[in-house]
Structure 1
Amino acid sequence: MQKQAPEKSVLEPNWSSWKRLRFSSVPKDVLGWLRDEGSLTRRVIQACAGDFRVRVLHQGWGAPLYSEGQVLRLRRGEITLVREVELLCDETPWVFARTLIPATSLRGPARRLTLLGDKPLGAVLFSDPHVHRGITQVARLQPRHPLFAAATPHLSRLPVELWGRRTLFYIAGRPLLVNEIFLPDIPRDEGR
Structure 2
Amino acid sequence: MLKSQTHWHPAPTAKLPAELAGWLTDKGSLTLRLQQTSQQQFKVDLQQTGWQKPLPEEALKLEQPLYEHAYCREVILRDGDQARVFARTIVPRVSYQALQAHLHIHHLGNRSLGEILFTDPAIKRGPLEVASLRSGQSLFELAKHSSNELNESSIMWARRSCFYFADNSLLVCEIFLPNQDWS
Q: TM-score, normalised by structure 1?
A: 0.87
- Classify the secondary structure of the residue corresponding to 1:106: helix
Residues 81-134 of structure 1 deviation map (CA, whole Å, 9 limit, x = unaligned): 010100000111100000000121123353311111000000010011110111
> Would you say the 8 A contact 2:155–2:178 is kept in 1?
no
**Alpha-carbon distance in structure 2 between the residues aligned to 1:110 and 1:132:** 16
- Say yes or no: does 1:78 pair with 2:68: yes
**Alpha-carbon distance in structure 2 between the residues aligned to 1:165 and 1:108:** 25
- Classify the secondary structure of the residue corresponding to 1:135: coil
1:122 aligned partner: 114
Paired letter, 1:11? S
- Classify the secondary structure of the residue corresponding to 1:119: coil
2:137 aligned partner: 145
Cα offset, 1:11, TM superposition: 3.1
> Would you say the 8 A contact 1:72–1:177 is kept in 2?
yes
Question: Match for 1:29 among 19, 43, 67?
Answer: 19
- Say yes or no: does 1:172 pair with 2:162: no
Paired letter, 2:177? L
Cα offset, 1:149, TM superposition: 1.1
> Would you say the 8 A contact 1:165–1:181 is kept in 2?
yes
Paired letter, 1:52? F
> Would you say the 8 A contact 1:95–1:186 is kept in 2?
no
Question: Match for 1:60 among 50, 53, 69?
Answer: 50
- Classify the secondary structure of the residue corresponding to 1:41: helix
* Residues 176-191 of structure 1 mapped to structure 2, 5 A cutoff: 176-189=170-183
Using the TM superposition, name which of 36-45 and 71-80 deviates more. 71-80
- Classify the secondary structure of the residue corresponding to 1:175: strand
**Alpha-carbon distance in structure 1 between the residues aligned to 2:94 and 2:134:** 32
Identical pairs, percent:
35
Question: Match for 1:15 among 8, 17, 27?
Answer: 8
- Classify the secondary structure of the residue corresponding to 1:152: helix
Superposition RMSD on alpha carbons, in Å?
Answer: 1.6
Cα offset, 1:174, TM superposition: 0.5
Change (3 A) 1:131 1:51: same
> How many pairs align?
178
**Alpha-carbon distance in structure 1 between the residues aligned to 2:142 and 2:81:** 18
Q: TM-score, normalised by structure 2?
A: 0.91
Change (3 A) 1:187 1:80: same
Change (3 A) 1:135 1:153: same
Cα offset, 1:162, TM superposition: 0.3
Cα offset, 1:19, TM superposition: 4.8
- Say yes or no: does 1:135 pair with 2:127: yes
Give ranges in structure 1 of 5+ residues lacking alignment.
1-8
